Chain A
Amino acid sequence: MANKNKNKTPEQIAYGQLEKKHELKRPVLKNCIRAFWVGGCICLVGQAFTYFYIYMFNFTEKTAGNPTTATMVFLSMLLTGFGIYDRLGQYAGAGSAVPVTGFGNSVVSAAIEHRTEGYVLGVGGNIFKLAGTVIVFGVFSAFVVVLIRTVIMMWGGF
């Protein structure tokens, strides 16, 4: 955002500086501590589920990740539906947004919000309204990364 001030008049720049003085400081440290412990706890629960699937079902350490993810998304659906996840989000910030439960929350919240527009256009059309960006950038960056890696390896890398 280097050109942020490019199109601004001097008046706007001066006001921008004045406005900055009054802005409420985000409590970064407090937010980070909250994000840390909530995010950590969510991962802890995920770890518990991983072991549960290893113990009780025929999953190995590697494959247990899939049912764990699905379970976490399921829990996130319940918490979203009962109106708890948005409050958790306000408290924990990234702590609840970064884990896969946050991904689930962004899908589920969009789905239930747009149900009033019908199941096809509302739910179907908007379900990835927020989570779509994660999928798009995940897929595209993975594509680029793997392509580069493959090309390097083909030309006699590693």
Chain B
Amino acid sequence: MLAMFFWAFVIGGLICVIGQLLFDVAKLSPGHTMSVLVTAGAILSGLGLYEPLVNFAGAGATIPITSFGNALATGAMQEVQRHGIVGVLTGMFEVTSSGISAAIIFGFIGSLIFKPKG
């Protein structure tokens, strides 16, 4: 378990470094960077490489935004297995809903209680 913490730190940190390099070296805007990472996550997932990474690094692989692409692709793939090709359309949010719904809910609550500080 301690090894898990260690690898979560290292892998999570490395994914962030990739993001930083996209910022600084490729000079992408944050929006572009996030899109690239999320797409990379989906592709790795399609190749079956993301799940081993999650097994290995735990939160180090599930917390970065790449896992969002992975979760979308995984959800769709599971649904494909169950219901055939239509699953590509229907299964997308099967696994990921928590991140988005949490963001919407807390975003809205945030707008009720906070003011931007500037």
Q: Which residues of B contact A108 (CB under 8 A)?
A: 103, 106-107, 110-111, 114
- Chief secondary structure at chain A's binding surface: helix
A39, B15: Cβ atoms closer than 8 Å: yes
B102, A137: Cβ atoms closer than 8 Å: no
Summed over the interface, the residue pairs from A and B with CB atoms below 8 Å come to a total of 260
- Interface centre among A36, A43, A66, A131, by most B CB within 10 Å? A43
B63, A142: Cβ atoms closer than 8 Å: no
Pick the residue among A26, A42, A109 that contacts B24 (CB under 8 A): A26
Task: With CB as the reference atom, state the residue of chain B lying closest to A35.
Answer: B20
Contact with B along A80-92 (1 / 0, CB 8 A): 1111000000001
Which of B66-106 touch A at CB < 8 Å? 66-69, 72-73, 76-77, 80, 85, 88-89, 92, 98-104, 106
State the A residues within 8 Å of B (CB). Answer: 26, 28, 31-32, 35-44, 46-51, 61, 65-70, 72-74, 76-77, 80-83, 92-95, 97-104, 106-115, 119, 123, 127, 130-131, 133-139, 141-143, 145-150, 154
